[in-house]
Amino acid sequence: MTGFVVTGTDTDVGKTVFAAGLTALLDGWYWKPVQAGLSDGTDAGRVAALSGLSQERILPEAYRLTTPCSPHRAAEIDEVEVTREHLALPPQRPLVVEGAGGALVPVTPDWLMADLFAEWGLPAIVVARTALGTINHSLMTIEVLRARGVPVHGVAFIGDAVPDSEQTICRIGAVRHLGRLPVLPQLDAKTLRQAFVRAFDKSAFS
């Protein structure tokens, strides 16, 4: 196992929390290649706090953009040119890479997150809510990734148990159910680590 790309069915689905838990579980390295929006803190900062790992395990972003919007637009506002060369994967392993938003979020005006995932070649984990609408969003994300040749490692669910939706996604999408992380009333490094170990089997990520 060399690492995973973590993507979500949409924004604020819980992929940063999942990425923090996974990085800690694997005793790995975390990388958020493009951070768009700085005023409320960064995803790397949240992962550092929630993973309990040393700061050296949280790799610096390739791009830190000011505005919380699609990376292509945030880069335009900051007058920054995003290049493929600057988004090469770091050498550290195991590596957990968190995408920005969903699979079809533009990194540049004509280059999407899913295109970047395909270039990297790492297996993708789709983080999905269990709430209403998840079947459609999850299946579309799975299809988008596969259409670009991105291997889908499985789906990790966030929220209350909704067995029919979870099973339907995994059956129709022909994808592995990796586990489900409930919404935690108190979220910190200790509670996340405990919940993550209960929710996910480490062998599923080997």
Query: With the C-alpha atoms ordered 205, 145, 155, 127, is the resulting torsion angle positive or negative?
Result: positive
For residue 139, CA distances in Å to 58, 72, 128 come to: 31, 25, 10
Amino acid identity, position 170: C
What are the φ/ψ torsions at residue 23 (nearest 5 degrees)? -60, -40
Torsion of CA 160, 18, 40, 185, to 10 degrees: 40
32: annotated active-site residue = yes
Amino acid identity, position 174: A
Expressed in angstroms, the distance from the first to the final Cα of the chain is 5
* Active-site residue, selected from the candidate residues 15, 32, 190, 202: 32
Distance CA 117, CA 173 (A): 19
Tokens standing for residue 76:
């335009």
Tokens standing for residue 16:
């940063």
Question: Contact 63/32 with Cβ under 8 angstroms?
Answer: no
For residue 120, CA distances in Å to 5, 148, 187 come to: 9, 12, 31
Question: Contact 63/33 with Cβ under 8 angstroms?
Answer: yes
Q: Which residues are catalytic?
A: 32
